[in-house]
Structure 1
Amino acid sequence: MTTTIAKFAHLQIPLEDVVKATDNFHHDNIIGRGGLGHVYKGQLQQSGELITISALRLDRKHGGGVVEFWTELSMLSDLKHPNIVSIVGFCDEKHEKIIVTTYEAKNGSLKEHLNSPNLTWTQRLKICVGVARALSYLHYDEGRGYGVIHLNVNSSTILLDENWEPKLSGFKVSIKQSLNRMDQVVLSEPIGTIGYIDPEIGKTKGVTCKSDIYAFGVVLFEILCGRIAYIRNDANRLLAPLVMQHYENETLPDIIHPDLKNQMSGYQISVRSLIIYSETAYSCLKEERSHRPYMLNIVNRLEKALEKALKFQPRLEYFNCSS
């Protein structure tokens, strides 16, 4: 571990600085509770500038989490993309392990806004495109010399900044893989969040980059239907099989978010945009991995759906003015 720490030495932040930034981890500064521990908001002085940060403080009471801590740090230290959270540094002293990132969640997580009547179709599409670009960067960017399988894509790990731009987070279980082996199975237990886990893991005993595609497909339908992937006490507790059934029966409009349906009835949504989007989301949920698209194709399709939606907006203004 000493060599690992040496590799990240330039990112080390003294514990006293993090304590000061978070007002000694005051409970009023808690902005999230995750599997590893609490996340605190704070103001950190760095290079003469005061920046707003998120500090993930590893909960050591229950043991574990150390591997996930170093995995997240290792991933974030190598990643630089406008739709991925940015690392500030970390703390590893006096039995404390803390990862510090820039504060990106000024509008919370995507999960908090799935059912919002204020989140328009165009905004939802822009969020989807941003996340797709982030995943494409993880899977294919040659600058790093390796690909990343995220394995924790869900509406809680997609944060939204003040401009509603998405920032992908949650790299605690991510796996590095050779770029030419992203399709090959990496042995793994089913990991991730219930409702998003690739059903092929049980058959193949492992994951591939297509496991991220499945999870992202679930997110796409969460955004379209305005509900989370898993509702514990609901008859249709899992969203994925529900949307597959409706898509194949050509009854998808029955479960689309009501406010989006109202936009459709008011000609605010290009029908073509919706068709491209739903076809893409459906293809991500194909049971066999070989039938799921790659992220590059998904980015292209979602950009096309957004383009269609944006083209439609001027016509809407015209109709409103002349009515």
Structure 2
Amino acid sequence: MKISALRLDRKHGGRDVEFWTEISALSDLDHPNIVSIIGFCDEKNEKVIITSYAAKGSLKEHLNSPKLTWTQRLKICVGVARALSYLHYDERRGYGVIHLNVNSSTILLDENWEAKLSGFKVSIKQSLNRMDHVVLSDPIGTIGYVDPAIETTKGVTHKSDIYSFGVVLFEILCGRKAFIRDEANRFLAPLAKSHYENETLQDIILPALLDQMSPQSLRRYSKTAYFCLKEERAHRPHTLHIVDELEKVLNFQPGLEDFVRSTSSTINVFPFCFLYAYSILFEKRHDVVLYYCFYLLLFSFG
């Protein structure tokens, strides 16, 4: 059985309270899209948390990979949304959990590319009937993902997680990180919002994904991501609604990726290249060559 070990890093500000917060949170959580705690070590100034193994690492490592298909990305999004819905609304615990550090580094991926939410060291437990109430807090989270409403309200709610998830949704769509220090558009969130409002999202979408998504899929997905980034928390959707929307987006994918992948592997482009070169070198009739290319194309599809 493979496991992952998370060691408290005091050199980079790791504190005992974060160690015990993570253990307390994971000990009460049981969901297929949340990492499972196996055990922990606390002796001789060594603090380590043992969790289930993430064979594919974090989502952050695969954001710009053309090998991670649009359908796979959608399934990851649905998994994280379900995890957040469980944290915010599951009544069996008697309380909700505000994660406060949702980002592409805390979203881990198992051997089947299934999302596993981790990183509960700054999470907050809150009564289910008070999830919309502000918990006084300094800005918490990772740069590029932090809820801007914290500055005006002086605290967080479960809608702070929604904002962070909205940033992740655009990371997945655009294939880039939420914050890139040395770029002119360092922050993805305002860039994505601007392109959405100007109907120019295609300019920043990861090119490898454009041929894989149906128009309905992109339209509904981008609308969901955009509303997650609303400045006012009341205008951001609840996770139950997000789960429903993303599941519908996934259903809009009509096997387009499989079609593109199968045709690209089935059609041998060599005959086309050969015939075209032959027509140029020997000045043969191009209309005849085009006829044969069309015939070969039909033959390739069987």
The TM-score with structure 2 as length reference comes to 0.84
**Segments ≥4 residues shifted beyond 2 Å:** 59-64, 310-323
**Of residues 134, 148, 155 in structure 2, which corresponds to 1:206?**
155
Pick closer, same or farther for the CA change 1:63–1:256 going to 2, 3 Å. closer
Q: Is the 8 A contact 2:213 2:256 kept in 1?
A: yes
Of structures 1 and 2, the larger Rg is shown by 2
Pick closer, same or farther for the CA change 1:310–1:158 going to 2, 3 Å. farther
Q: Is the 8 A contact 1:201 1:207 kept in 2?
A: yes
The CA distance in 1 between the partners of 2:14 and 2:67, in whole Å, is: 40
* Structure possessing the higher relative contact order (Cα contacts under 8 Å, 6 or more residues apart): 2
Q: Is the 8 A contact 2:21 2:123 kept in 1?
A: yes
Q: Is the 8 A contact 2:4 2:50 kept in 1?
A: yes
- Total equivalences in the alignment: 267
Q: Is the 8 A contact 1:126 1:306 kept in 2?
A: yes
Code of the residue aligned with 2:125 in structure 1: it is K
The CA distance in 2 between the partners of 1:64 and 1:312, in whole Å, is: 45
The CA distance in 2 between the partners of 1:316 and 1:116, in whole Å, is: 17
Alignment of 1:275-290 (within 5 A): 275-290=219-234
Instruction: Tell whether 2:66 aligns with 1:133.
Output: no
**Of residues 97, 101, 114 in structure 1, which corresponds to 2:63?**
114
Deviation at 1:314, TM superposition (A): 7.2
Q: Is the 8 A contact 1:110 1:160 kept in 2?
A: yes
Q: Is the 8 A contact 2:8 2:14 kept in 1?
A: no
Pick closer, same or farther for the CA change 1:75–1:280 going to 2, 3 Å. same
| Structure-2 residue corresponding to 1:302 | 246
- TM-superposition CA deviations, 1:29-79 (whole Å, max 9, x none): xxxxxxxxxxxxxxxxxxxxxx21111122345775100000000000000
Q: Is the 8 A contact 1:122 1:310 kept in 2?
A: no
Question: RMSD of aligned C-alpha atoms?
Answer: 1.8
Code of the residue aligned with 2:232 in structure 1: it is E
**Of residues 90, 94, 98 in structure 1, which corresponds to 2:40?**
90
The CA distance in 2 between the partners of 1:314 and 1:235, in whole Å, is: 37
Instruction: Tell whether 2:173 aligns with 1:228.
Output: no
| Structure-1 residue corresponding to 2:25 | 75
**Of residues 172, 175, 188 in structure 2, which corresponds to 1:239?**
188
Aligned-pair identity (%): 74
The CA distance in 1 between the partners of 2:262 and 2:4, in whole Å, is: 44
Code of the residue aligned with 2:7 in structure 1: it is R
| Structure-2 residue corresponding to 1:157 | 106
Gaps in structure 2 of 5+ consecutive residues: 265-299
Deviation at 1:102, TM superposition (A): 1.6
Code of the residue aligned with 1:256 in structure 2: it is I
Instruction: Tell whether 2:16 aligns with 1:66.
Output: yes
Deviation at 1:120, TM superposition (A): 0.7
| Structure-2 residue corresponding to 1:23 | none
2:166 partner SS: helix
Deviation at 1:313, TM superposition (A): 5.7
The CA distance in 2 between the partners of 1:269 and 1:276, in whole Å, is: 11
2:41 partner SS: strand
**Of residues 216, 224, 243 in structure 2, which corresponds to 1:272?**
216
Deviation at 1:162, TM superposition (A): 0.5
Gaps in structure 1 of 5+ consecutive residues: 1-50
